[in-house]
Amino acid sequence: MYGKTIQMGGYMPAPRVNTVYRYNTVAKVHNVTRYNDVEHTQYVRHINHIVNITRVQPVIYTNVVTRIHDRPVYSVRNEYLHETRMLPARTVVTSKVVQMNYRPTHMQHEAYGHAE
């Protein structure tokens, strides 16, 4: 009995597999906050008073120096403008000559039996 397979339970059918897929759609929400940071320059007047004092009695010399340095700050941006202009009307003139009820003279005489 060594090395031999013996079936003890009779015939066993092969297992059958039936697969059913069921789909469910779930909304996945992403809350996104986008920031548009804009640099804004605020000019604050700040004055440094420089006072040189020489203490000699009875005279007090006061020298007040206020130095203002003007430095222009340019904010450059593009502005696109669209304009519509009306042009003067273009006049197109066509003409042709149509001659109505015309028969040459020799055909009229032949049609009435007259020969020249």
C-alpha 56/C-alpha 18 separation (Å) is 111
Is the pLDDT at 26 greater than 80? The verdict is yes
C-alpha 106/C-alpha 115 separation (Å) is 8
> Is 0.85 topped by the overall pTM?
no
**Could you tell me the two tokens for 9?**
């339970």
What 3-state class would DSSP assign to 74?
coil
Share of the chain above pLDDT 70, in %: 75
C-alpha 11/C-alpha 97 separation (Å) is 107
Q: Tell me what pLDDT residue 105 has.
A: 64
61 phi and psi, to 5 degrees? -95, 130
Give the CA angle between residues 72, 76, 82 to the nearest 5°. 140
Closest CA relative to residue 63, chosen from 49, 77, 48: 49
Question: Tell me: the pLDDT tens digits for 51-99?
Answer: 888 767 776 678 898 988 888 888 888 888 888 888 898 898 888 888 7
